[in-house]
Amino acid sequence: MRIPLIAGNWKLFKTLDEALDLVNQLKVLVKDIKKVEVVVAPVFTAIATVSKAVKGTPIQVSAQDCYWEEEGAFTGEVSPKLLKDAGCTHVIIGHSERRQYFAETNDTVNKKTKAALAAGLTVLLCVGETLSERESGSTFEVIESQVRGGLSGISSDDLKPIVIAYEPVWAIGTGKTATEQQAQEVHAFIRKLLSEMYSKKIASSTRILYGGSVKPDNIKGLMAQVDIDGALVGGASLKADSFAGIVGFNN
Ligand code: PEP
């Protein structure tokens, strides 16, 4: 049984006051929602504040990235251990914006994933093809290399706290959602790949989220697909009512 997970990626938005305001509104709006895991990912500077604010509620907190070393002379970096210390339970790794603008590679994604798992964080591992990769027919090849690369050397025991997020790059922040069929096709491919890499059991228990212009009015159709287990939401997670509308997709 895969419990649906809806995660909001706040990206580089929200001051401390704005983050607190958003999460306090959310707490009220999602308080009666059952059987859906809710995660929010504020900027690093708001993690501790938001974590304190959600204590005792079902809302969990994620970071948007991490480094792979625990500590040392790595100016500007934040380790998984420090994220846990600040109240995180989850961390997003390999988001396409990090791959695109911050030279993230499958190798760095893999190092970060291993470090985050070792620290006891649940990893939201992002994969997704660009528009030109889709148009040239290499979607599955790209997804396979990102999944294999990101999970390289990770055993089935360590894989348990992993969630894969399929986010076609051409659908992120563009208002262009993949059709339910396009998304389902790639989710099914990822599940089959996990079954080949690990086992059928692991594949059927791993949650695979869809991300890319998810809104309250398209979440239901996406969630109706057999291999879509939740969503990673950017823009629509910045307003409490739209994010709550997505979290409450089956109400
Ligand atoms: C994201 O940032 O992961 C994302 C999916 O953004 P948006 O929902 O705005 O497309």
pLDDT in tens, 17-38: 999 999 999 999 999 888 999 9
Q: Which atom of ligand 1 lies closest to the CA of 235?
A: 9
Q: Which of 97, 104, 129, 167 is catalytic?
A: 167
Enter the tokens of residue 181: 């069929």
Rounded to the nearest angstrom, the distance between the alpha carbon of 213 and the centre of ligand 1 is: 6
Compute the distance between CA of residue 197 and CA of residue 199 in angstroms, rounded to an integer.
Answer: 7
86 pLDDT higher than 90: yes
pLDDT at 168 over 90: yes
CB count, 10 Å around CB of 50? 26
Give dist(CA 225, CA 152) in Å, integer. Answer: 28
Residue 90: name the closest of 240, 232, 248 by CA.
Answer: 232
User: What average pLDDT does the segment 169-189 reach?
Assistant: 93
d(CA 207, CA 236): 21
Kindly state the helix (H) or strand (E) to which residue 90 belongs, with its residue range: strand 90-93
Average pLDDT, stretch 128-145?
96
Is-catalytic flag, 90?
A: no
Ligand 1 mean position to 218 CA, how many Å?
Answer: 14
Picking from 233, 238, 234, the residue whose alpha carbon sits closest to that of residue 249 is 233
CA of 59 to the centre of ligand 1 (A): 19
Q: Looking at residues 166-186, what average pLDDT do you find?
A: 93
The whole-number pLDDT of residue 192 equals 98
Does pLDDT of 162 surpass 90? yes
What local confidence, expressed as pLDDT, does residue 251 receive?
80
Task: Convert the pLDDT of each residue in 185-205 to its tens digit.
Answer: 999 999 999 999 999 999 999
Run of H or E residues at 8 = strand 5-9
Residue 159 has pLDDT above 90, yes or no: no
The answer, yes or no, to whether residue 173 has pLDDT greater than 90, is no
If DSSP codes are grouped into helix, strand and coil, which group holds residue 249?
Answer: coil
Segments of 118-214 assigned E as strands: 122-127, 162-166, 207-211
Q: Looking at residue 174, what is its pLDDT?
A: 87
Residue nearest to atom 7 of ligand 1 (CA): 234
Q: Whose CA is nearest to atom 8 of ligand 1?
A: 234
Q: Which of 43, 232, 238, 239 to mutate to test the pocket of ligand 1 (most atoms within 8 A of CB)?
A: 232
Distance 233 CA to ligand 1 centre (A): 5
**Nearest ligand 1 atom to alpha carbon 95:** 3
The C-alpha atoms of residue 114 and residue 250 are separated, in whole angstroms, by 34
Which atom of ligand 1 is closest in space to residue 11's alpha carbon? 2
Helices (H) and strands (E) in the chain, counts: 12, 8
Q: Which of 181, 183, 179, 203 minimizes the C-alpha distance to 193?
A: 203
What does the pLDDT read at residue 176?
A: 83
Higher-pLDDT residue of 157 and 108 is: 108
Helix, strand or coil, per DSSP, at residue 11: coil
Percentage above 90 pLDDT, the chain: 93
**Residue 77 pLDDT:** 98
Judged against a pLDDT cut of 90, whether residue 125 lies above it is answered with yes
Q: What's the chain's average pLDDT?
A: 96
- The band of 1, judged by pLDDT with boundaries at 50, 70 and 90, is confident
